[in-house]
């Protein structure tokens, strides 16, 4: 691929500041180098942080994003900055998890996407949130997300 296909990148290879909010964050995309092949991509964010919209206390999650690309791939540095922009974002677990999925679907228009938000306990109750755009394309190997259910210290 020629470098011209990557000239629109706003963050990769540049000194980039952390966006102050998910709405401010820019998600860069690059052309899929294998658009004729269906394949599976996974991003794992084991130290995701946001804020409780009621108490302002931090919430922590292990987020797993799986997708089958169509014409575009998400550029990983921009995804990392987007995910980190939630550090100062006040939102319930459901809002954060589904919001990430909907933003990625809007930006990438993937053939398929799912997200697992494995949230650590708040008030003694862990909340796990899952979103999926539908059935994955036939023939795609979809591995388990590999995050065990919360079991406390046992």
The string of pLDDT tens digits covering residues 115-152 is 999 999 988 888 999 999 999 999 999 999 999 887 76
User: Is residue 44 in some structural domain?
Assistant: yes
- The C-alpha atoms of residue 101 and residue 131 are separated, in whole angstroms, by 7
User: Is residue 144 in some structural domain?
Assistant: no
- The C-alpha atoms of residue 104 and residue 86 are separated, in whole angstroms, by 15
User: Is residue 86 in some structural domain?
Assistant: yes
Range of the domain at 69: 36-132
Catalytic residue among 15, 28, 38, 52: 52
User: Is residue 76 in some structural domain?
Assistant: yes
Catalytic residue among 28, 45, 59, 96: 59
Active site residue 38: no
CATH of the domain at 41: 3.30.1130.10
Number of domains in the chain: 1
User: Is residue 29 in some structural domain?
Assistant: no
The string of pLDDT tens digits covering residues 18-75 is 888 999 999 999 999 999 999 999 999 999 999 999 999 999 999 999 999 999 999 9
Closest-CA residue to 92 (of 63, 46, 65, 55): 55
Q: Is the pLDDT of residue 154 over 70?
A: no
The string of pLDDT tens digits covering residues 60-91 is 999 999 999 999 999 999 999 999 999 999 99
**Do 59 and 88 contact (CB within 8 A), yes or no?**
no
User: Is residue 61 in some structural domain?
Assistant: yes
- What is the percentage of the chain residues whose pLDDT exceeds 70? 90
User: Is residue 15 in some structural domain?
Assistant: no
Active site residue 28: no
């Amino acid at each position: 691929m020629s470098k011209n296909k990557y000239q629109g990148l706003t963050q990769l290879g540049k000194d980039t500041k952390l966006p102050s909010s998910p709405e401010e964050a820019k998600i860069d995309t690059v052309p899929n180098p294998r658009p004729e092949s269906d394949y599976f991509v996974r991003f794992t964010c084991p130290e995701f942080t946001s804020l409780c919209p009621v108490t302002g206390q931090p919430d922590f999650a292990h987020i797993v994003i799986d997708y089958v690309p169509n014409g575009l791939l998400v550029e990983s540095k921009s995804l990392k900055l987007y995910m980190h922009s939630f550090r100062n974002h006040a939102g319930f677990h459901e809002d954060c998890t589904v919001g990430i999925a909907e933003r990625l679907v809007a930006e990438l228009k993937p053939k398929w996407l799912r997200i697992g938000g494995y949230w650590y306990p708040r008030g003694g109750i862990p909340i796990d949130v899952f979103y999926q755009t539908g059935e994955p394309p036939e023939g795609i190997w979809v591995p388990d997300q590999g995050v065990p259910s919360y079991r406390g210290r046992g």
